[in-house]
Chain A
Amino acid sequence: MDRRSVLKAAGVMTAAATALVALPRLAWAAYSEKAFKAKGSADALSNLYGANATTPSDQVKLKAPDIAENGAVVPVEVETDLQADSIAILIEKNPSPLAISADLPAGTKAMVKTRCRMGETTNVTAVVKSGGKLYTATKEVKVTIGGCGG
């Protein structure tokens, strides 16, 4: 092995080591075990946001199908024009309703799309936290085949 290839190999290894060291600095959301295990929507919100008083708002836009043939994969989309710090999705009739909570730093659009499981026909509620208040939009999704795998 000549000097050049040794130096090159050393360079690659240093880059790899740097990449490994760089990983742990990623910021994780604080996982709220209590909120996600809560059996009711109000309880989930209290544990997640420290409050469960909500106001329905037509500025919260919730997109979900009217009928979901397969409850295992139901697309849900939440978007709002409000200045939002956080968005959560509640699936009321699921064993634990809170499906997702997303934190939105400044500069991040107030939008989140995902796919959820629904055990049975249920109300789905989008919660937007804006200026310390919780705004919601609710929609019923009819589920033909449940998706919780009982």
Chain B
Amino acid sequence: MSTIRIKAKERNGVVDVKTLMKHPMETGLRKDKDGKKIPEHWIQDVSAESGGKTVFTASFNTSISKDPYLSFAFAGKKGDTLVLSWKDSAGATDTAEVKIG
């Protein structure tokens, strides 16, 4: 199952995007039960594309909350596809797409 949930709604030519990504976003400061530091592990980059062009990119630090929430808006149209991906500090990635409603 995808780690990404996306809602994309168009109004007056502007697509409003709300997304949630499931990720632990470990800061590297937290300790486990035995007092050992849990290594940092976080989403570094997020990229969104629609209508054949990049509409939004962002980089995160470990100070973005666990299971990051992100919202942005761009000029686009209903029926187009929005593709959103993330890449984390361990090199893992995930991608999801949604039809703009």
Q: Are A and B associated in one complex?
A: yes
Interface residues of A (CB under 8 A from B): 23, 26-29, 31-32, 36, 72-75, 91, 94-96, 98-105, 107-109, 111-118, 147-150
CB proximity to A under 8 Å, residues B43-69: 44-45, 47, 49, 53-66, 68-69
Given A23-B95, A31-B44, do A113 and B59 touch, yes or no (CB 8 Å)? no
Query: What's the minimum C-beta distance from A48 to chain B, rounded to whole angstroms?
Result: 9
How many residues on the B side are at the interface (Cβ–Cβ under 8 A)?
A: 36
Q: Are B65 and A147 in contact (CB under 8 A)?
A: yes
Tell me whether B5 is interfacial, beta carbon within 8 Å.
Answer: no
Given A26-B85, A108-B73, A149-B27, do A114 and B53 touch, yes or no (CB 8 Å)? no
Q: How far is the CA of A101 from the CA of B68 in the complex (A)?
A: 14
Q: Are A113 and B57 in contact (CB under 8 A)?
A: no
- 6 further A-B pairs in the complex, CB-CB below 8 A; given A26-B47, A116-B63: A23-B85, A99-B63, A100-B58, A105-B74, A108-B73, A150-B30
Tell me whether B83 is interfacial, beta carbon within 8 Å.
Answer: yes
Q: How far is the CA of A111 from the CA of B83 in the complex (A)?
A: 19
Given A100-B58, A149-B30, do A27 and B68 touch, yes or no (CB 8 Å)? no
Cβ–Cβ < 8 Å partners of B72 in chain A = 102, 108-109, 111-113
Q: How far is the CA of A101 from the CA of B29 in the complex (A)?
A: 22
Q: Are A100 and B64 in contact (CB under 8 A)?
A: yes
Query: What's the minimum C-beta distance from A64 to chain B, rounded to whole angstroms?
Result: 13
Among all A-B residue pairs, the 4 with the closest Cβ atoms: A149-B30, A113-B71, A29-B57, A109-B73
Q: How far is the CA of A28 from the CA of B45 in the complex (A)?
A: 6
Given A108-B75, A109-B74, A113-B70, do A31 and B65 touch, yes or no (CB 8 Å)? no
Cβ–Cβ < 8 Å partners of A117 in chain B = 27, 62-65
Given A109-B14, A114-B68, A115-B69, do A26 and B56 touch, yes or no (CB 8 Å)? no
Given A112-B72, A114-B71, A149-B29, do A27 and B54 touch, yes or no (CB 8 Å)? yes
Report which of B14, B59, B85 forms a contact with A100, defined as CB distance below 8 A.
Answer: B59
Minimal Cβ-Cβ distance residue in B for A33: B44
Q: Are B27 and A148 in contact (CB under 8 A)?
A: yes
